[in-house]
């Protein structure tokens, strides 16, 4: 899932970014409202984690703009957790609201819940043949055997299973599983699919469709 984190406190932004990436999210970062709007104009984010008190363009204005577009779910962060501030944030168009300081596990759970709402409905557990993936619990198994996957391998497998046999292009995987720093000409997807195939074992589950992408049998 692709996430934009908008936070002007750089140490906090770095902490949140690293934590979300460890949980398998592809995370881009903006430190002010104008940069956030520019990034949203070119990338369809599943979730925007938005600090309310931003320099330049205020977080309220960013939230209103994103709500009008309706392409991303917005989780608003603020130093105030008063009821009137939560109501104001939701009235602006935010989908959820979290006061600082917060438990990181709660942030991850809320971002995950919003990400699932931003895409077409998926089963809570994805299956194909004897492969089972539970995105919420970050667990993948084949034939009852636990698969030890990297965040990128898990993300690729999740996207392929969710496609339910439809071909998923390398560009789509790059957009959903990697972040803005990924080289569009990288061979990272081919390498990741290769290591994922080895971890899945036999019989082979992932097909390469020449010139189109990958799919689950």
Task: Check residue 76 and give left, alpha or beta (phi > 0: left; psi -120 to 50: alpha).
Answer: beta
Dihedral over alpha carbons 61, 66, 67, 71 (to 10 degrees): 180
3-state secondary structure of 174: helix
Last residue of a domain, one of 65, 93, 118: 118
Q: Which stretch of DSSP H or E encloses residue 85?
A: helix 83-92
Task: Check residue 138 and give left, alpha or beta (phi > 0: left; psi -120 to 50: alpha).
Answer: left
Break the chain down into helix, strand, coil percent, rounded to 5: 40, 20, 35
Q: Which of 70, 49, 53 is nearest to 6 (CA)?
A: 49
The reply to whether 156 and 212 lie within a common domain is yes
194/42 Cα distance (integer angstroms): 30
The reply to whether 100 and 170 lie within a common domain is no
204/214 Cα distance (integer angstroms): 13
For the whole model, what pTM was predicted?
A: 0.65
Q: Can you give the CATH number for the domain in which 86 is found?
A: 3.40.50.2300
217/129 Cα distance (integer angstroms): 8
Cβ atoms 208, 169 nearer than 8 A: no
Confidence at residue 18, expressed as pLDDT on a 0 to 100 scale: 92
Confidence at residue 198, expressed as pLDDT on a 0 to 100 scale: 95
Token code pair at residue 136: 């919420």
Cβ atoms 24, 3 nearer than 8 A: no
The reply to whether 22 and 112 lie within a common domain is yes
Confidence at residue 217, expressed as pLDDT on a 0 to 100 scale: 81
The reply to whether 77 and 94 lie within a common domain is yes
Last residue of a domain, one of 69, 100, 118: 118
Q: Identify whether 101 is preceded by a cis peptide bond (ω within 30 of 0).
A: yes
Cβ atoms 72, 118 nearer than 8 A: yes
Confidence at residue 160, expressed as pLDDT on a 0 to 100 scale: 93
The pLDDT tens digits of the residues spanning 122-144 come to 667 898 989 999 987 889 999 99
The reply to whether 131 and 152 lie within a common domain is yes
Q: Can you give the CATH number for the domain in which 146 is found?
A: 1.10.10.10
Which parts of the chain sit beneath pLDDT 50?
A: none
177/157 Cα distance (integer angstroms): 10
22/18 Cα distance (integer angstroms): 6
Confidence at residue 207, expressed as pLDDT on a 0 to 100 scale: 93
Confidence at residue 171, expressed as pLDDT on a 0 to 100 scale: 86
22/15 Cα distance (integer angstroms): 11
Token code pair at residue 205: 């589950």
The reply to whether 100 and 25 lie within a common domain is yes
Confidence at residue 208, expressed as pLDDT on a 0 to 100 scale: 93
Residue 174: give the domain boundaries: 126-216
The reply to whether 62 and 11 lie within a common domain is yes
Radius of gyration over every alpha carbon of the chain, rounded to an integer in angstroms: 18
- Number of domains, the chain: 2
């Amino acid at each position: 899932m692709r996430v934009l984190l908008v936070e002007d406190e750089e140490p906090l932004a770095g902490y949140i970014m690293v934590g979300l990436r460890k949980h398998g999210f592809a995370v881009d970062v903006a430190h002010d409202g104008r940069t956030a709007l520019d990034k949203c104009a070119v990338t369809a984010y599943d979730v925007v984690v938005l600090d309310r008190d931003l320099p330049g363009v205020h977080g309220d204005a960013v939230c209103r703009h994103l709500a009008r577009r309706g392409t991303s779910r917005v989780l608003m962060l603020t130093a105030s957790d008063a009821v009137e501030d939560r109501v104001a944030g939701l009235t602006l168009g935010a989908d959820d609201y979290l006061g600082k300081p917060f438990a990181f596990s709660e942030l991850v759970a809320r971002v995950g819940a919003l990400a699932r709402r931003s895409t077409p409905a998926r089963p809570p557990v994805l299956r194909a043949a004897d492969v089972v993936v539970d995105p919420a619990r970050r667990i993948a198994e084949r034939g009852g055997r636990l698969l030890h996957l990297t965040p990128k391998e898990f993300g690729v497998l999740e996207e392929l299973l969710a496609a339910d046999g439809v071909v998923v292009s390398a560009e789509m995987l790059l957009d959903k599983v990697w972040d803005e720093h990924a080289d569009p000409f990288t061979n990272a997807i081919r390498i990741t699919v290769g290591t994922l195939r080895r971890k899945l074992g036999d019989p082979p589950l992932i097909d390469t469709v020449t010139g189109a992408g990958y799919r689950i049998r």
